[in-house]
Structure 1
């Protein structure tokens, strides 16, 4: 078993002014196109060995951000600087090398595994593609990976449909670990699982992170899960980061009105305990027609006239705590 790996506060990745806009045709012959600003001017810093939790309502752009960071989809603008190199502008050859260091675990473990491939072929494939090991060496490493994620070597000859959802997600994690990555992006990787299985997968990720010195980006809409696993949290709304801070600051002292509303929605373990729930009025604006000024102003009870006119800047409130709100 590997000894635990620790790092100082060294920057692994910087996301700078990242944008991903999707054009939407309108009018005769698609003249006068409009855009869905799925990711709009995102700035993040991720240090070695930490876990960045990204939370927000469905449709806020969390998964698009993850895919843009990995360059599964090309960004419209901005930079994704990984260990000093900009992934957003890499050539296909350099990008292939960089992807060994950044892997992803998707939400649906069955859809992300080839149903016609046995587990041994799924796990050996990364070693062959990246020329890491021979076929015999890849088989041995595949067995080690299965053991690492809590599955027996008898699983090697089975197909994905022969496993439960939690077991399939363990296989996906093993595949992500095959190329010895530095960063793993977990995109809602436990949301499709039962609560008890969620806990097992979360504990497995925490264990592997300590053993291998992994850095994690953990995307979820479940604030309780994010609170458990994260060291830093970023809150998204309509393609923008509204607030980011260390976990304790986000959950104990949220600043942005949207963050406060999200935190207030987390259920308490004690059914008799009283909690001041913040109910947001109104609907989320259309991402094609985002209102001017602060995008949250249409649902914010604290909004002033200037909030509907001026676009708030993402600024530092205190050490490590950033917020996009003019009223702070």
Structure 2
């Protein structure tokens, strides 16, 4: 396939990326962090792309985050050299893979139990104490447990990288005032954890966390020293529904689809359904905003309204949740107006182990 070619010739459904808009988003976040003396470590679970991760690092990021070991392995193989794993790895096989990866790149991991920490002895990885903000997904659940785990890290001969505190449930609170109140309360608890570590004589080099919904609030509160933002590079319907603070970000990710049936008044069917969008956050929206979307099955969706496209027309949609939507596609098609100028693989697609 030779580039460029007309966007209208691209088979659908297709995941489209406006690289220029994404680069402006990357630059805006990098400038925000630099102006406040904060390290930036964007989360690659959003894009799962070596090309995008390397662009983020080139723009000033200290490194990247990965949610899963398989993601980290895939991106490291493509030249990403500083990775922080944000989910615990506990199995013997996983620990062996961590040790191998630590021999290739600068690697840090989180832990919330001493057993995997002991197994990592001699690996050279930096270990962060994962602190539960109250969701009970992962993390130690008290200041005392944080101190005990930090001591276990030292006893294993490993370096304490710092503390991780990620408030995922708060990222999509709709109003800025409500989100700020929630994060302020969570941060008050984090301060007690850090105070307990300080009282025990334990130095905490990095306090990492935040996300696209809260990074500006976290910067104001002044406790985090590193931002783990992810979705800011693309945006999605969830974040468009939120009142965000900080820099303004542009929509850079879409799904193109095609009208395949137009026989019912007030409705047309497009070729993008359950297999084209993550469904955890509701439905996508049309870029034009003139019709309502409804899922019609695995491969189809409906557009409902008075002003509808016609048979074989192209329809552009904003994904409801960008991270898991990206994982449904093999590649990004790079778009400039009405032209497709290239493609990038979704490097770590499906790497969930």
Q: TM-score surpassing 0.5?
A: no
Q: TM-score, normalised by structure 2?
A: 0.33
